[in-house]
Amino acid sequence: MPGSDPVEVARTVVGELPGLMPFPELPGRGVGADILGRTAGLLVDLAVEVVPSGYRVAARPGRDQRRAVDLLRWDLDAVEQAASEAGAPRAVKVQAAGPWTLSAGIELHRGHRVLTDQGALRDFAESLTEGLIAHAEQVAARTGSRVVVQLDEPALPAVLAGALPTPSGYGKVPAVPEPDAQRLLAEVIEKLAAATESPVVVHCCAARPPVALLRRAGAGAIALDATKLGDVTGSFADELGEAWEEGTTLFLGLVPSTQPAGEARLRQIAQPALGLASRLGFGRKALAERSVPTPTCGLAGATPAWSRRAISLTRDLAKLFADEAEQ
């Protein structure tokens, strides 16, 4: 979400999205509020610091780590206050970088990415899992709501493709084999699902997210940008169709994350979802039963007015899907 006032934003999301409320993030506050810094604030017995090239493993918690922890605590206080004023949401969705995006974005002391060291990779995955479970328990205790965890994996396609640059910038980090990527992700998902007793959502906004891998890893829902998918055919259509057929919910990014130049017409915004259901051979009832409309990505780059409008449009899309199913 845009802005820097966690109390105001918490009131907005609690009031507008009482069914499934995303725990608000305010990356505009800087270090410790972005996806990597915020996730690092959840880690147990591991610390990071900010260096010129980004986030790096630290020997002990310092100013940067404490800032991330403090920002998250303030956000939790704001959500608790908003929930006490407006009533507890039915469910709260908390988000954090997944193990591959986290380990791709943080450096070891010598400058290489965490994912290049098997021991460090394992330590970060376990620390992330433990910290996320503790965070989910805190959110549940403070709000009285069921908690759903979402793992954000924007870097996963680059990890699988061997597209991440080395510290020198002249080479590429070797690709991680799909079975290895799936195995680690599955271990994290299994523990999170058992602790929260809820399906785990995995978000990847690439044009061709690794849907089959995520489904095999145990993702109960897959969040993607439906406006980027284009003409869904071939093996990718098979992946999406199998996921939907086997009960995986699709979080379909449809509402623009920033205000579009023209008028935002609901039917036009819904068209990628309607077209997808048709191409995959599903009736429109599937959209009402097996999908969740969302913005295409985070709303941090939007104006406050558009962020509220985008939230309203997602609710309207859900109603449209339900109406289409009835007809």
Measured CA to CA in angstroms, residue 235 lies from 74, 206, 238, 241 at distances of 45, 16, 5, 10
Judgement on whether residues 140 and 286 belong to the same structural domain of the protein: no
pLDDT 10s digits, 209-246: 999 999 999 999 999 999 999 888 889 999 999 999 99
Angle, in degrees to the nearest 10, between helices 266-279 and 304-326: 50
Judgement on whether residues 130 and 205 belong to the same structural domain of the protein: yes
**Total tally of structural domains belonging to the chain:** 2
Mean pLDDT of all residues in 313-323 = 94
Q: Are strands 201-203 and 221-225 parallel, antiparallel or unpaired?
A: parallel
Supply 201's token pair.
Answer: 């959502």
Domain limit, last residue, from 163, 190, 219: 219
Domain limit, last residue, from 203, 219, 235: 219
Judgement on whether residues 87 and 191 belong to the same structural domain of the protein: yes
- Domain span holding position 276: 225-327
Amino acid letter at 305?
Answer: A
Would you state the pLDDT for residue 262?
Answer: 86
Judgement on whether residues 87 and 189 belong to the same structural domain of the protein: yes
Judgement on whether residues 120 and 246 belong to the same structural domain of the protein: no
Domain limit, last residue, from 196, 219, 242: 219
List residues bridging with 220 in a β-sheet.
none
Judgement on whether residues 168 and 103 belong to the same structural domain of the protein: yes
Judgement on whether residues 199 and 229 belong to the same structural domain of the protein: no
Would you state the pLDDT for residue 120?
Answer: 97
List residues bridging with 165 in a β-sheet.
172
pLDDT classification of 159: cutoffs 50, 70, 90:
very high
Would you state the pLDDT for residue 283?
Answer: 85
Would you state the pLDDT for residue 146?
Answer: 97
Would you state the pLDDT for residue 327?
Answer: 78
Judgement on whether residues 166 and 279 belong to the same structural domain of the protein: no
Does the pLDDT value for residue 56 go beyond 90?
A: yes
pLDDT 10s digits, 106-144: 999 989 999 999 999 999 999 999 999 999 999 999 999
Judgement on whether residues 25 and 7 belong to the same structural domain of the protein: yes
Mean residue pLDDT of the chain comes to 95
Judgement on whether residues 171 and 236 belong to the same structural domain of the protein: no
Exposure b/e, 10-38, CB count within 10 A at least 16 = b: bbbbbeebbebbbbbbbbebeebbbbbbb
For 140, how many CA atoms within 13 A lie in the half-sphere containing its CB? Answer: 14
Q: Are 12 and 311 in contact (CB under 8 A)?
A: yes
Judgement on whether residues 180 and 305 belong to the same structural domain of the protein: no
pTM of the model: 0.96
Could you tell me the sign of the dihedral formed by the alpha carbons of 187, 60, 109, 34, in that order?
Answer: positive
